[in-house]
Structure 1
Amino acid sequence: MRVPDPPQVPDNSGPLSLLRRRTYLVILPITVVAALVIYLLSAGQPGLTFNTVALPALALGVLLLLLGLLSGRMPLRSVEHGFYVLVVATFLGKYVASVTHQDAPPDTALVEVFIWTPFVYVLAFLIDTPRRAMSRSAAVSALGILIGSYGVLSGTMPLVRLLEFHLAQGIILTMLYSLSSLKNQVLALQGQVGEMHRLAHLDPLTGISNRRQLELQLGHEVLRSQRYGTPWCVIMFDLDDFKGINDAHGHAVGDEVLREAARLMQREIRGTDLLGRWGGEEFLILAVQIDLPYALALTERLRAALAAHPMPGPGHVTASFGVAAYRDSESAESLISRADAALYLAKRAGKNRVEGALVRVDAPLQMPELHNPFPVAPPAEQTEVAQATSRWLSTFELGPQDDVSRTHLAGTFAQLAAALHPVATGRDLRLMADWYCVMFLHDDRCDASGIGKDPPRLHTLTTRLMWALQGHQPAADDEPLAWAMADLSRRLRDVGGDPWLQDVTEHVSAYFRSLSWEADNRARGVIPTTDDYVRMRPLTAGLAIDEAFLSLVDQLRLPGHVYAHPAVRALTQHANRAVCWSNDIISLEKELQGGDVHNLVLVLRQERGMGLQDALEAAAAMYHQELERLIDAPRHLPDLGPELNVHLARYVQLQQLRVGGILEWSWRSKRYQLGHGSGLPA
């Protein structure tokens, strides 16, 4: 079956035209140079020869074509045909000159013509379809036969040489036509195969990969991970309330929403990821070379982008996302099943959210024993403080809605305040419990709402809270946290005075800036380096704020130059790091399941290429190292005189009390623990 010639590609469109243009930008200058070189070599010959007349004309004509191509004023097709006309005219002129030149031997005349023959015919097949090129070449060959026949009749060319010459031309033309036709057949078959592949592997509605292609790629990724151990995740998402869109706006609008969602996600995902339509309004992303914390951060960015994107018909559309990371020796079916289960959890939790897939593991993490050289006896139940704080939270509609749960929350932080400040009065314990509740509720809301991964939203929130802490009245419609912070600001000023509140405000400002650093990392899915994390972690824990309360609640009086002494600063640093590393170890499972990347264990795992258990052990070693330094630090403290030495000794005791008290409280509160070994993300 004859395959028809492919249609001519429109001028200046597509990669083929770009390739042709680049080809002529090379061929045309070479032709100009070749013509001028041959002209110069022929310049010394006696008489007026063909080269001295035709070659300058050829060089000038080709140069004009080159300038027209470079300037864009001459279409590519015009350049091609103009070049072909110049070449054919020069070829035929050379043939005529060779035949009519009586002094040249016949063989020499034919050789001068024959060496240019392939170039003329190849050029014809380059610029046109095989049939048109064959017609043009046949016309040129016929003119050549007429010119040669004149030479035979005039006695300047033997008949045998003419027959040989044109027989060779016929063989060249036949081969060129066959090769060109074969090329077109191959291109046509490639187009058919490509179309069949597109129909088999692309979704006809959205133009992205269909389920068949996704299943094939899933198999490839499973094999690659099993061979090389590379991490990867699947992200399954489903447009929320899509049936309602079809019912309210029609299926045509629903189809356009699917297409627009696919286009948006295709722009937002990384170049290495594969997006496909799994079925209906459900999509799947294969995210390669990525761990679960990174994948959750990426997915949160996709969720926010989709929610903010205007859609035809409904205006805005949201989606629920389920993320699962590949486990060793897991099948693709199991991986998809876990992502689907996480997606179901996101739907049940209220939609427009991201959930990570959790699984039980055969070899759960073995939590290392954290030695505590500064044990703190559990403080007595702070019932009155807890009830007062619970009522205060209820005033601002903060915390759990029911009284029992809210009082339990308040009691948890009242006990923390009592553990860290054993000599504090009821008023001070109440103030500390209120402060801790506000800070932790702020932290919880950032995690639950996605604000902790959205730097602009976080900046807006912390700006309002800082405004309230500085004593400004919140707006009437401002959020409850801002009103609670304004109330705390007034009470803190009454107890500690303006200078002390200013000191607290500066520490809170630094704390909020460190949270912005965390949010930026989370938004980009970046695990910080160990050095950056060690430097920033005490700030993100708000430990400088806690230290400010030592002078208020524990009535510790130390001059500023004492706090600035290198030995005192080192002691504080060791205490802060011990608190942070113990907290990171205890909260690891919760942060893994939540997809957080800010944990010492994950930082060590990323930077040192460790397994999770080895990184956990390394973090425990760093914690114990800070303990040893904290124990040794008092030996290097300065001698400040009897009165200041008493206060300095009290400061050392409070720092040690804080390390031991927070560790004991963390173990007892279960705030960060989800049950060791109960479940880890895949």
Structure 2
Amino acid sequence: MLADELEVVHAIRDLMQYRPERVADTARHIAGKAAEPLSCEVGAVLVRYGAEVVAEVVTRDWPARLDPDAIRQTLLDLFDRTAQGTVLEIEIEAAAGDALGREQGLVARLALPIGRPVRFGVLVVAHAATQARGFTNLCQRMGHSLADVAESLLVQAISREELAADRDRYAREARIDPLTGLDNRAGWESQVASEEARRHRYPRPVTVVSADLDNLKAVNDRFGHEAGDRLICAAADLLRQQARAADRIARVGGDEFLILMPETDTDGASRYLARVRAAMRRIRLTDDAELRLSLGAATAREGETLVSTLGRADAAMYGAKRRRGRGPPRPTRG
């Protein structure tokens, strides 16, 4: 067995032992492992799956600077060219926009499709002018073997990423209120737990705001639940628009909203409530249905849990509701 062929066998064995995780890392690993046994100064892999395009390039003993955006476009062009099969260029012709060509000092290039029967990527290896070599029939067979192993690894990496994305999406959906896009109760409890853990490490002011729609039942009874849903969404938008990016807003009941405001003291809470009340006066959904929220806030005391802080915010909100004559208070959360 020739020395070069033995190197490819070792490279294939190393590739097959690789545990794919992220597609980009896998593509980069393949590019390096393909370039080494074929004595190429450049190895590159492009992968297309769904709306994603991953382009990775690895150089060996070659100081050229490569533009990632230009490399990506060149690999896309080579991907298109491999629609009819392998592209072998014993002498690369100078071409504008070719980021793996003559202008970078590369003289010979082999582009191999990845994926059968459906192509989803391309493996490219190239020689530089410093040690000009071509690609023999043996080199091409080795390249195809490497591309076959690359297909298996990339399929695994794509599957892992898609599964991880599905898990993340399902986890997010489990914490999101579908009507408003805000956190639901599970999302709220997760945010509170995270904030509580941070407070133990870094003492910081934090405020909880409790908000309750005063007239949801009346709107539902008079105009129907579609009108009630619009009222809920209007309240969610109002609370979100007046909050900061760091604040977390949750819809925890039919007409109940909670806001967690890190790095916010009593003065900051008062300013937020003032903004919400001012904006609320400017909103009217129909001639008869206006947006009315009762609001209360509490800033966590030293040594107080956020659950207790929430109880005080609820009490303040119910006090505001009584003063406005919107009905008897409900029991506060413990």
What TM-score bracket applies, with the shorter chain setting the length? 0.5 to 0.7
Name the residue aligned to 1:254: 228
What SS does the corresponding residue of 2:245 show, helix, strand or coil? coil
Structure-2 separation of matches of 1:205 and 1:221: 25
Gaps of at least 5 residues in structure 2 are 1-46, 57-66, 94-105, 124-133, 327-334
**CA gap 1:130/1:270 in 2 versus in 1, 3 angstroms:** farther
What SS does the corresponding residue of 1:92 show, helix, strand or coil? strand
Structure 1 position 184, deviation (Å):
1.4
Q: Amino acid of the residue matched to residue 179 of structure 1?
A: L
Q: Amino acid of the residue matched to residue 90 of structure 2?
A: K
What SS does the corresponding residue of 2:119 show, helix, strand or coil? helix
What SS does the corresponding residue of 1:322 show, helix, strand or coil? strand
**CA gap 1:186/1:312 in 2 versus in 1, 3 angstroms:** farther
Aligned ranges 1:498-509 → 2 under 5 Å: none
Deviation string for 1:373-400 (max 9, x for gaps)?
Answer: xxxxxxxxxxxxxxxxxxxxxxxxxxxx
Q: Amino acid of the residue matched to residue 84 of structure 1?
A: D
**CA gap 1:189/1:28 in 2 versus in 1, 3 angstroms:** closer
**CA gap 1:188/1:83 in 2 versus in 1, 3 angstroms:** closer
Deviation string for 1:610-648 (max 9, x for gaps)?
Answer: xxxxxxxxxxxxxxxxxxxxxxxxxxxxxxxxxxxxxxx
CA contact (8 A) 1:274 1:287 kept: yes
**CA gap 1:290/1:265 in 2 versus in 1, 3 angstroms:** same
CA contact (8 A) 1:253 1:313 kept: no
Structure 1 position 167, deviation (Å):
3.3
Q: Amino acid of the residue matched to residue 92 of structure 1?
A: L
Q: Amino acid of the residue matched to residue 221 of structure 2?
A: D
Name the residue aligned to 1:425: none
Structure 1 position 7, deviation (Å):
6.7
Name the residue aligned to 2:11: none
**CA gap 1:184/1:24 in 2 versus in 1, 3 angstroms:** same
Name the residue aligned to 1:322: 296
Match of 1:8 among 50, 55, 69: 50
Structure 1 position 87, deviation (Å):
11
Structure 1 position 257, deviation (Å):
1.9
Name the residue aligned to 2:264: 290
Deviation string for 1:544-566 (max 9, x for gaps)?
Answer: xxxxxxxxxxxxxxxxxxxxxxx
Structure-1 separation of matches of 2:274 and 2:55: 42
**CA gap 1:8/1:347 in 2 versus in 1, 3 angstroms:** same
Structure-1 separation of matches of 2:55 and 2:237: 29
Match of 1:84 among 67, 80, 84: 80
Name the residue aligned to 1:133: 119
Structure-2 separation of matches of 1:313 and 1:207: 27
CA contact (8 A) 2:211 2:257 kept: yes
Q: Amino acid of the residue matched to residue 165 of structure 2?
A: G
Q: Does 1:243 align with 2:217?
A: yes
What SS does the corresponding residue of 2:204 show, helix, strand or coil? coil
Q: Scaled by the length of structure 1, what TM-score is found?
A: 0.32
Deviation string for 1:79-110 (max 9, x for gaps)?
Answer: 94577329989943538x9xxxxxxxxxxxxx
What SS does the corresponding residue of 2:210 show, helix, strand or coil? strand
Q: Amino acid of the residue matched to residue 71 of structure 2?
A: I
Structure 1 position 213, deviation (Å):
1.4
CA contact (8 A) 1:323 1:339 kept: yes
Structure-1 separation of matches of 2:316 and 2:253: 17
Name the residue aligned to 2:139: 165
Structure-1 separation of matches of 2:55 and 2:269: 40
Structure-2 separation of matches of 1:251 and 1:222: 36
Structure-1 separation of matches of 2:54 and 2:283: 35
RMSD: 3.9
**CA gap 1:305/1:313 in 2 versus in 1, 3 angstroms:** same
Structure 1 position 191, deviation (Å):
2.1
Name the residue aligned to 1:26: 70
**CA gap 1:313/1:221 in 2 versus in 1, 3 angstroms:** farther
Name the residue aligned to 1:116: 109
Structure-1 separation of matches of 2:219 and 2:71: 58
CA contact (8 A) 1:307 1:319 kept: no
Structure 1 position 351, deviation (Å):
6.3
Structure-2 separation of matches of 1:305 and 1:130: 59
By percentage of residues, which structure has more helix?
A: 1
Q: Does 1:275 align with 2:317?
A: no
What SS does the corresponding residue of 2:294 show, helix, strand or coil? strand
Name the residue aligned to 1:205: 179
Aligned ranges 1:229-628 → 2 under 5 Å: 229-311=203-285, 314-350=288-324
What SS does the corresponding residue of 2:229 show, helix, strand or coil? helix
Name the residue aligned to 1:449: none
CA contact (8 A) 2:216 2:231 kept: no
Q: Scaled by the length of structure 2, what TM-score is found?
A: 0.63
What SS does the corresponding residue of 1:308 show, helix, strand or coil? coil
Structure 1 position 177, deviation (Å):
0.5
What SS does the corresponding residue of 1:234 show, helix, strand or coil? strand
Structure-1 separation of matches of 2:286 and 2:149: 57
Structure 1 position 311, deviation (Å):
2.6
Q: Amino acid of the residue matched to residue 190 of structure 2?
A: L
Gaps of at least 5 residues in structure 1 are 10-15, 32-78, 98-111, 139-156, 353-682
Structure 1 position 137, deviation (Å):
6.9
Q: Amino acid of the residue matched to residue 94 of structure 1?
A: I
Structure 1 position 269, deviation (Å):
0.4
CA contact (8 A) 1:257 1:312 kept: no
Structure-1 separation of matches of 2:54 and 2:239: 30
Q: Amino acid of the residue matched to residue 133 of structure 1?
A: R
